[in-house]
Amino acid sequence: MHLSIIIPLFNESESLPELCSWIHRVVESQHLNYEIWLIDDGSTDDSWHVIQNLKDQYPHIKALRFRRNYGKSAALQTAFERVQGKVVITMDADLQDSPDEIPALYSKIAQDGFDLVSGWKQNRKDSLFLKNIPSKFYNRITGWISGIKLHDMNCGLKAYSNDVVKSIEVYGEMHRFIPVMVKAAGFKKITEQPVSHQARKYGVSKFGWNRFVNGFLDLLTICFMTRFAKRPMHLFGVYGLLMFVAGFALTLYLGAFKLYCSWNHIIARKLTDRPSFYIALTTILLGTIFFLAGFIGELIQRNSPLRNTYAIAEELK
């Protein structure tokens, strides 16, 4: 199969008929063998009924529905496990991503040999303060930490080779950092493609202010997971050892100084009256805790591979 298109959705019943018709028209003009995966992330509107009707109209459609809302990452991961196309394209269901971009994205993977092509919404049709400015700040910080210089890392319109989607695991809210995960998995051919962005035609955005806090926490998580998930002792053990040695050295100094004063009949403060004594003890304890955290992390990593399961209510093939 040439192409798989993945569309996660939550309460997008109004946009689905137009979107599927648009995709069908564009892809058919390219004479590609394709499939469309519609992932209903626990919608509470009429989305699943609309999907069932679309399935009768477009045989290329495949779909599944979660019993509850798990989030975009869960929808993407579930689809990644099922797609068969040599090229995989993800896009949002709200019609802000244009299906007219599909041929160019497909060509970047199939002909130019890229592993991942991320869309770049140069002219965003979103709120300036709610999305545009925060998005630019987020992309700069993520690029600085990860070393991946993309203008729009979280763009929902992306193209992947099949090898990429079978090699990564998206969970939590890590869909924001898929390029970072792809790079960590060993795929180096990552680029971006300017794409058009359209104003929302139906419904409202499903993302609120909490995504800023969650995004920062997820960034810290993905940085740890991509660098130290397989070797947590290299992070916790190193810092724990440094803290323990520093605290132990300070304790030895204080003890030696106390003995020197005692031998030379010099009046000195009690160790328990000196703040540095408690700093030394605290540093030793923290170093021990860090070291043990790294050791326990190693045991967990070797015995509990990370996998997620999601309760699927229905699936159409």
CA distance 240 to 236: 6
CA distance 170 to 69: 16
Question: Taken in order 229, 235, 236, 238, is the CA torsion positive or negative?
Answer: positive
Asked whether 5 and 97 are in contact (CB, 8 A), the reply is: no
Q: At residue 5, what are phi and psi to the nearest 5 degrees? A: -115, 125
pLDDT, position 128: 47
The residues near 192 (Cβ < 8 Å, ≥ 6 apart) are: 117, 118, 119, 120, 150, 151, 152
pLDDT, position 1: 78
CA distance 67 to 312: 6
317 residues of the chain, pLDDT tens digit each: 799 999 999 999 999 999 999 999 999 999 999 999 999 999 999 999 999 999 999 999 999 999 999 999 999 999 999 999 999 999 999 999 999 999 999 999 999 999 999 999 877 665 545 556 666 777 777 777 767 888 888 888 999 999 999 999 888 778 888 998 898 888 989 999 999 888 777 766 655 556 666 667 777 777 776 677 677 888 888 899 999 999 999 999 998 988 888 888 888 788 888 889 999 999 999 999 999 998 888 887 666 655 555 667 777 87
Structure tokens at 32: 């590609």
Burial of 288 (0-12, 13-18, 19+ CB in 10 A): middle
Please state which CATH class domain 3-229 belongs to.
alpha beta
Structure tokens at 46: 């009429």
Asked whether 206 and 11 are in contact (CB, 8 A), the reply is: yes
Structure tokens at 280: 């030394």
Reduced to 3 states (helix: H, G, I; strand: E, B; else coil), residue 290 is helix
Reduced to 3 states (helix: H, G, I; strand: E, B; else coil), residue 232 is coil
Structure tokens at 108: 């970047």
Q: What are the boundaries of each domain within the chain?
A: 3-229, 233-303
CA distance 59 to 53: 11
pLDDT, position 35: 96
Reduced to 3 states (helix: H, G, I; strand: E, B; else coil), residue 258 is helix
Among 89, 18, 4, residue whose Cα is nearest residue 50:
18
